[in-house]
Amino acid sequence: MTQTIQWFPGHMNKARNEIKDIMPEMDVVIEVIDARIPYSSENPMVAKLRGQKPVIKILNKADLADPDQTKAWIEYLESQDQVKAIACDDNKTVEVKRIVQLCKQLIPNKVGTGRQIKVLIMGIPNVGKSTLINALAGRSIAKTGDEPAVTKSQQLIKIDDDIMLYDTPGMLWPKIENPNSGYRLAATGGIKDTAFDFADVASYTAEYLIEAYPELLKARYKIEELPKTDWEFFEVAGRNRGLLQKGGIVDTYRMSEILVNELRSGTLGRISLETPEMREKEEVMVEGLLAAAAEKKEAKVEEKRLRRLRARKNRK
Ligand code: G4P
């Protein structure tokens, strides 16, 4: 499965410009990511544009993620410069207090001065940014326009006398260079179903789960001996579920839908689709892909230049 999923229409510039303009004024950045895929749900722009500003990474939807992996991710992220990380589940009461406290600890010289700590909150769509904003504000705040066609102005949300939250309406896309990230974003419901081939995503998911969470699959789908391949798994699990079509053929497509839906809802158990080790490895792969693409582009430019040169010579 090497095909790259292209689901982004390219509205990144608007968000980039908004963030670039506002960043110099900010004291702290909050980046909301998905605890099940902390690597793929990041936006690479945040790291590029924040410079030396402190960032608090919120590993949201931690109630759906593998607690051991979330712990490993927090350690990994906090080993980076100016990065703090907090896991957040669907009851955000405790975490919200910690986030507020942390902002004040990071910028102590503004506390109680009447000059508010300016906090920029960012996150890819559907990661739970609005839910977190509401929890931080203690009231329901209207969503900023996250449809590319809707232009709404930036929102300023007062958290308390010391903290002002800034929410930008531009769309922030997740990682697009890594094909694996596309599958994981799709598997967790982070991108819309129409943007990818569902069968591919389900296959990717099954392959990963057979390797990383065999016991959960065995328990949920009542399988004693787990098959090694995705298609055999869909066959066996589908048969156990009674998903039979005419002639006793198993409806493997229906089974693949069930698997992905049960992963998304947490019915299958608490599952993470990424580890810090995977990130390290894949970053190297992505660098290679980007370098190869840049080389190809350069070669094309050179070819064009030579063609023009030849055409000019022929005219003489
Ligand atoms: P966004 O602004 O980043 O686009 O995301 P939003 O807050 O709208 O949240 C997207 C979905 O994620 C919502 O579900 C929301 O309830 C859910 N969500 C947010 N935080 C958490 C969390 O910590 N844990 C879990 N399990 N889910 C979380 P939805 O199905 O789209 O809407 P609804 O069911 O809340 O109506």
List, for residues 95-130, the tens digit of each pLDDT value.
999 999 999 999 999 999 989 999 999 998 889 999
Give me the residue spans of the domains in the chain.
Answer: 10-167, 197-265, 276-316
Least confident range from 22-31, 82-91, 192-201, 280-289: namely: 192-201
pLDDT at 147: 47
296 alpha carbon – ligand 1 mean position (Å): 40
| pLDDT tier for residue 89 given thresholds of 50, 70 and 90 | very high
pLDDT at 47: 85
Return the H-helix or E-strand segment holding 167: strand 163-167
Nearest CA to ligand 1 atom 9: 128
63 alpha carbon – ligand 1 mean position (Å): 12
DSSP readout, 117-132? EEEEEEE-TTSSHHHH
- Mean model confidence pLDDT for the chain: 89
Taken in order 102, 33, 122, 282, is the CA torsion positive or negative?
Answer: positive
Q: Where are the alpha helices (DSSP H) in 79-197?
A: 93-106, 129-137, 179-187
Q: Average pLDDT of 43-57? A: 90
Q: Average pLDDT of 184-206? A: 85
pLDDT at 277: 97
pLDDT at 28: 97
Nearest CA to ligand 1 atom 25: 61
DSSP readout, 3-29? PPP----S-HHHHHHHHHHHGGG-SEE
Q: Average pLDDT of 136-165? A: 76
Q: Does residue 153 register a pLDDT over 90?
A: no
| pLDDT tier for residue 151 given thresholds of 50, 70 and 90 | very low
For residue 98 the two structure tokens come to 């910690």
Residues framing ligand 1 (Cβ under 6 A): 60-61, 63-64, 88-90, 123, 125-131
pTM of the model: 0.88
| pLDDT tier for residue 82 given thresholds of 50, 70 and 90 | very high
pLDDT at 12: 64
User: Could you tell me which residue, 75 or 169, shows the higher pLDDT?
Assistant: 75
Rounded CA-CA distance 293/46 in Å is 23
As a whole number of angstroms, the longest Cα–Cα distance in the chain is 78
Least confident range from 8-22, 71-85, 221-235, 275-289: namely: 8-22
| Ligand 1 closest atom vs CA 143 | 2
* Dihedral, CA of residue 260, residue 263, residue 266 and residue 269, to nearest 10: 140
The answer regarding whether domain 10-167 maps to CATH 3.40.50.300 reads: yes
Least confident range from 176-180, 235-239, 279-283: namely: 176-180
89 alpha carbon – ligand 1 mean position (Å): 10
| Ligand 1 closest atom vs CA 89 | 23
194 alpha carbon – ligand 1 mean position (Å): 20
Least confident range from 3-7, 201-205, 235-239: namely: 3-7
58 alpha carbon – ligand 1 mean position (Å): 14
Pocket test for ligand 1, best of 63, 89, 94, 126 (most atoms within 8 A of CB): 126
| Ligand 1 closest atom vs CA 32 | 3
- Cβ atoms of 31 and 86 closer than 8 Å: no
| pLDDT tier for residue 195 given thresholds of 50, 70 and 90 | low
pLDDT at 179: 84
pLDDT at 148: 45
pLDDT at 45: 83
Architecture of domain 197-265 in this structure: Orthogonal Bundle (1.10)
- Cβ atoms of 150 and 125 closer than 8 Å: no
| Ligand 1 closest atom vs CA 129 | 3
Nearest CA to ligand 1 atom 31: 126
Q: Does residue 14 register a pLDDT over 70?
A: yes
Nearest CA to ligand 1 atom 4: 126
131 alpha carbon – ligand 1 mean position (Å): 6
User: Could you tell me which residue, 45 or 101, shows the higher pLDDT?
Assistant: 101
Q: What angle is formed at CA 98 by the lines to CA 96 and CA 100, rounded to 5 degrees?
A: 70
120-124, 186-190, 204-208: which is most confident:
204-208
Nearest CA to ligand 1 atom 19: 128
Nearest CA to ligand 1 atom 30: 126
249 alpha carbon – ligand 1 mean position (Å): 37
154 alpha carbon – ligand 1 mean position (Å): 21
pLDDT at 193: 60
User: Could you tell me which residue, 200 or 18, shows the higher pLDDT?
Assistant: 200
60 alpha carbon – ligand 1 mean position (Å): 9
